[in-house]
Structure 1
């Protein structure tokens, strides 16, 4: 009942294109997050779905009906924004029931819907409180309650947790997931926080410069990014990138040389490897690794369950007496906190073969996710 479809939706402001030819289909009951850097067009896209902004081109469909020219009040949507905007002179009950009352709902129906929302949101005993008497999390739940009492087909949420402290944000995003699944309503959630998008969503839509880069389940975006932008944006800390070439089944760069069997390319490429997929060569827990990078430990950051190690790589083909830091590339490695390393220590690291990504240097598009193993010689 709450599917959403955008067909060739574009929004221009004078000579600036905020959203460019957006095509997205969101199924009934899905939780989809729009994520990307500030100014990428994610909020504008949400506003066009809600009817708050008129698209320059394209069409918007909700539950198969073209709503392109309908005002927001006729789209059966509920919106929750970063600015909670409760009426300060109304108590919780009046705030939550306001939308139903202006639509002329009967008192019995209003009380029933508010009671259902109160139970869902765990707001029992708070109906007579004023917004000033509530905590930030409680005010946010009231704002969500005001939306769900209307029984909308689609929830639109634009960074609704941005004003909460870190601990409360984690709690509230769990609450939002629970509420959305209980109600079975379609939810579209805008955030610049990729961790929120990854943990909350059935699918993530990554947007950059007004263009959809990839829409897929979170792990697919993480393990099989469609291009360099997605690879660098999804994941914290970010993926390492090394510029090089592939020719005759071998990748060559300033700091590492490794076999790349099965890669059908003879061009400039970008190699991507995540920090957790780099291992000291003597780590017995390492999977099948390829390539060897000589490096010096620059900075060590222990953060509890893992340790970040910033490396200064050396040029791969330099003789011992001429070894120095490779100017173009640096590496970040994530290891167990028990790993014994010291700053300025010379070490060798290698890459998890199955977790290497290769991208076309010109277009940025993905070529390979995971290198094949060399065939075992037969005797």
Structure 2
């Protein structure tokens, strides 16, 4: 088994810093996902762990061994890429066994490891097939099998499901989790798809502009985001943000005022609230809410089990805002049950679930509060 430790790892290309002082510890048998937008440094980080890219600074350890200067072949890792890259002139058996054969492994070892991989990956009866005779999911399983037979300490996967259709991607997501748990192997998985990261991982490491923003279990990142970036990136649809300020235990903005805020120092803050935590004022759950926003319904999107309602808030006095003054965006997005009686152009009042309000310092973006209490802190 192999733990992975990155100690102050940097990667620079001239004046451009692609990865900035990354510190990550991955435990034996852990499934860690690196997630973030395109260009955030997640693939570069994976390539440095593998040895395909040389870091500018920092140390990399695999199973407590310093591998910083070792080539990929000496790191006992296996990689699965977005591009499956099977040899088209080789059958499944030869593709899966190729890495062992070029290392001079005995035939009995090759046969045993391929048989074990076939059982794990459910590829029975396919060893004599050519890649052109396989489906996309089967080809991806063969690529994974090619990695499994090497018996590595660490699996490194760079968006291996990106080229599959949506239904097959969900199926393979489940398969990868099953395989990783059966093998009890450390896995580091790169994806830009937050749903993949949330559903597959023991922890997720969220990167932006080459910097590590947060590394925690998926639900912690969702419920207690470290900053505005994490709050906006994790969760679909994204969190709503309302710009305002704190004064005398009160959050004030052009569209709403909220009491019982445990902050009394005057400061500019950003309120975050997820669409599912906004309720119509007549909702039975409204007894645990705070604030009130008068808004008109702009667009309604039924999406099966939920219905998304795009609201245009009104400023005090009934004058509509232009969005930029009160919101980070043009709309306030609310998620409700599909049978909720709401129509486009309707005027309604909505409120916020008190326990699900997040407050961030506007200047830094860092989190200040996750959830408001019923009563404010007594004033001294």
What's the offset of the Cα at 1:286?
A: 4.0
1:143-185 alpha-carbon deviations (Å, 9 max, x no partner): 0000001110000000000000000000000000000000000
Q: Which residue of 2 aligns with 1:210?
A: 210
1:61 aligns with 2:61: yes
Secondary structure of the residue aligned to 2:284 is coil
Partners of 1:244 and 1:269 within 8 A in 2 = yes
What's the offset of the Cα at 1:375?
A: 6.7
Q: CA RMSD in A?
A: 1.3
Partners of 2:260 and 2:377 within 8 A in 1 = no
Q: Which residue of 2 aligns with 1:45?
A: 45
What's the offset of the Cα at 1:32?
A: 0.4
2:320 equivalent among 317, 320, 324? 324
Paired with 1:65 and 1:323, the residues of 2 have a C-alpha distance of 64
Secondary structure of the residue aligned to 1:151 is coil
Q: Which residue of 2 aligns with 1:360?
A: 361
Q: Which residue of 2 aligns with 1:275?
A: 275
Instruction: Flag the 1:179–1:74 CA change in 2: closer, same or farther, 3 A.
Output: same
What's the offset of the Cα at 1:325?
A: 3.7
Instruction: Flag the 1:264–1:188 CA change in 2: closer, same or farther, 3 A.
Output: farther
Q: Which residue of 2 aligns with 1:10?
A: 10
Paired with 1:252 and 1:80, the residues of 2 have a C-alpha distance of 50
What's the offset of the Cα at 1:55?
A: 0.2
Instruction: Flag the 1:96–1:287 CA change in 2: closer, same or farther, 3 A.
Output: farther
Paired with 2:214 and 2:265, the residues of 1 have a C-alpha distance of 23
What's the offset of the Cα at 1:327?
A: 3.1
Ranges in structure 1 where 5+ consecutive residues have no aligned partner: none
Counterparts of 1:158-307 in structure 2, within 5 Å, are 158-286=158-286, 288-307=288-307
Partners of 2:5 and 2:26 within 8 A in 1 = yes
Instruction: Flag the 1:129–1:58 CA change in 2: closer, same or farther, 3 A.
Output: same
1:63-94 alpha-carbon deviations (Å, 9 max, x no partner): 00100000000000000000000011100000
Paired with 1:23 and 1:142, the residues of 2 have a C-alpha distance of 33
Paired with 1:212 and 1:327, the residues of 2 have a C-alpha distance of 31
Paired with 2:68 and 2:321, the residues of 1 have a C-alpha distance of 57
What's the offset of the Cα at 1:266?
A: 1.9
Paired with 1:107 and 1:279, the residues of 2 have a C-alpha distance of 65
What's the offset of the Cα at 1:265?
A: 3.6
Partners of 2:31 and 2:186 within 8 A in 1 = yes
What's the offset of the Cα at 1:372?
A: 1.0
Paired with 2:301 and 2:147, the residues of 1 have a C-alpha distance of 43
1:202-250 alpha-carbon deviations (Å, 9 max, x no partner): 0000000000000000000000000000000000000000000011100
1:339 aligns with 2:335: no
Secondary structure of the residue aligned to 2:163 is coil
Paired with 2:349 and 2:314, the residues of 1 have a C-alpha distance of 10
Ranges in structure 2 where 5+ consecutive residues have no aligned partner: none
Using structure 1 for the length normalisation, give the TM-score: 0.97
The runs of at least 4 consecutive aligned structure 1 residues that moved more than 6 Å come to: none
What's the offset of the Cα at 1:323?
A: 2.8
Paired with 1:324 and 1:299, the residues of 2 have a C-alpha distance of 16
What's the offset of the Cα at 1:287?
A: 5.6
